[in-house]
Structure 1
Amino acid sequence: MSLESGSATDQQVDVLSQKFTLGFTYTRSTGPVVGRFLSSLRDGKMVGVKGSDGRVIVPPVEYDPVTAEALSEFVDVADTGEVVNWCWVAEPTEHHPLSHPFAWGMVKLDGADTPILHAIDTQGDASQMVTGMKVRVRWLNQAQGNIKDIVCFEPGDTSSGNIPQHDFEEPVVMMDAPTYLDYNYTAGNATARYLHQIRQGKIVGQKAPGGEFVYVPPRGSCPATGVATTEEVECADVATVESFTIVHIPIPGNPIKPPYVVANLLADGADVSFIHLLSEVDNDAVEIGMRVKAVWKPEEEWGYAMDNIRYWKPLDNESDKGGK
């Protein structure tokens, strides 16, 4: 593939926008304090821990907020309480605990001195929410041993009397902690130009007028000077391995099974490397300076994404640079 130059402003491109989910679910040990709290939830009970100043803290914490000493004196509290403050959620998302409008509220349980944050369900009626109102726990029918055993709080000054059911015999010692963020990414002009070119099977970087460095993917401006990168440079789909790592730990949602190699690649004609996958080579045979070539998906599968290139493989010889 020959190197070509042109102006990034010669052609307008459609704005590209895509929804993404960023997150990871990790498993952690609960320790004796959090484990006791989750085990109690599983049994339909609320428990706190007594601090050095005599306060009953719910949810229980491992260390005293005043002295930082380890805490271990557990105190049973009621599953009823009072709303300290709240805010209304008029349009819940799919990740919220309730599908209809509800309130997030700080609830101080009877027998506790600190509030717990959870959802409060008034069946979508915001007019029922009042600071100081009495609420009670609505328990999950089949307990899981995590905070979701509390479905939500609901108006009421006496316990519902419903006890969660479960088949667990051992206390909770491990828990899954999912942390996810949904967001919408809108590509700027430079990124949009780059993705439109990738959809055509081209790797096209940009540089500032009179500048030395070709950026792939382009940033829109030169990091060194701040000048807009309006000059396009088409790079070859042949590259040099600048650095690499062998991945041994599986990543949730990633269809590639370890071990595999991820490398920083410097495409011919570019001055900044990008990250991509290496394949068709023994992991132990990968080395810095290795010459590699892109292996593209079939053209009918090309979209606005760098994964139009399945992976990069070793270049058999320097004459093997053309075609996809």
Structure 2
Amino acid sequence: MSEPQADVTVVKSPVYLKYRFTAGSAPARFLGRLKEGVLTGQRCPRCSNVYIPARGSCPACGVPTEKEVVLSDKGTVQSFTIVSIPIPGNPIEPPYIVANIVPDGANISFIHLLSECVNEEVHIGQRVQALWKPAAEWGYSMDNIRYFRPLDEPDVAVDRIGKLPVTGLES
């Protein structure tokens, strides 16, 4: 008679997923303008908030958004984290900073890298600007911006981030 076998408790099975993203009309316009080196958002006709990237509707009011606004590549750090643990497959060596940045002229943030700074000196309200890749390398991606770097400008008060007068240009 054979001896009882131990229960299987762990199975290692690498999974590789490939995604195909199909953008709707609002994200497609956003990505098209990004390929031209222009950040854009959409203004809500009801609450006047400007969202980036464009979604085609206001998440707060639920109404369609169509009015596009050209935004600055300058912004304000709304929150951030210092990543200290390597992420498998990520070519960026820790430690590095991932920040939520509210671009000038918008009311909400998007996530991007922050570099050319002392990690321990990064703070909420800090002013930053995009460092773009050379135009010949641009595609339909936020990767056109290598990272954001600190500016020598006064900080924005925490309670004013995303609430400054929206000065984006209608396109």
Q: TM-score, normalised by structure 2?
A: 0.82
2:53 corresponds to which residue? 217
Relative contact order higher in (CA < 8 Å, ≥ 6 apart): 2
1:254 is the counterpart of 2:96: no
Runs of 4+ in 1 over 3 A off after TM superposition: 174-177
* Contact 2:131–2:148 under 8 Å retained in 1: yes
Secondary structure class of the residue paired with 2:31: helix
Return the structure number with greater strand share. 1
Q: For residues 183 and 315 of structure 1, what CA distance do their matches in structure 2 show?
A: 36
* Structure 2 unpaired stretches of 5+: 155-171
Task: Report the 3-state secondary structure (helix = DSSP H, G, I; strand = E; otherwise coil) of the residue aligned with 1:181.
Answer: coil
> Aligned pair count?
151
Q: Which residue of 1 aligns with 2:161?
A: none
For residues 13 and 85 of structure 2, what CA distance do their matches in structure 1 show?
A: 18
Report the secondary structure of 2:18's partner residue.
strand
In the TM superposition, residue 176 of structure 1 has moved relative to its aligned partner by 4.7
Amino acid at match of 2:78: E
What do the CA deviations read for 1:198-245 (whole angstroms, capped 9, x no partner)?
011111000222432100011111112211110001110001000000
Q: What is residue 144 of structure 1 aligned with on the other side?
A: none
Q: Within the alignment, does 1:179 sit opposite 2:15 as a pair?
A: yes
AA aligned to 1:227 is V
Question: 2: distance between equivalents of 1:296 and 1:204?
Answer: 15
Trace 1:63-142 onto structure 2 (pairs within 5 A): none
* Identical pairs, percent: 57
Q: Deviations over 1:95-154 (max 9, x none)?
A: xxxxxxxxxxxxxxxxxxxxxxxxxxxxxxxxxxxxxxxxxxxxxxxxxxxxxxxxxxxx
TM-score by length of 1: 0.44
* 1:226-278 Cα shifts (integer Å, max 9, x gaps): 11110001110001000000001111221110000000000000011000000
CA displacement 1:257-301 (0-9 Å, x = unmatched) = 000000000000001100000000010110111000000000111
Structure 1 317/289 Cα, relative in aligned 2: closer, same or farther at 3 Å?
Answer: closer
Distance 2:74 2:124 in 1: 15
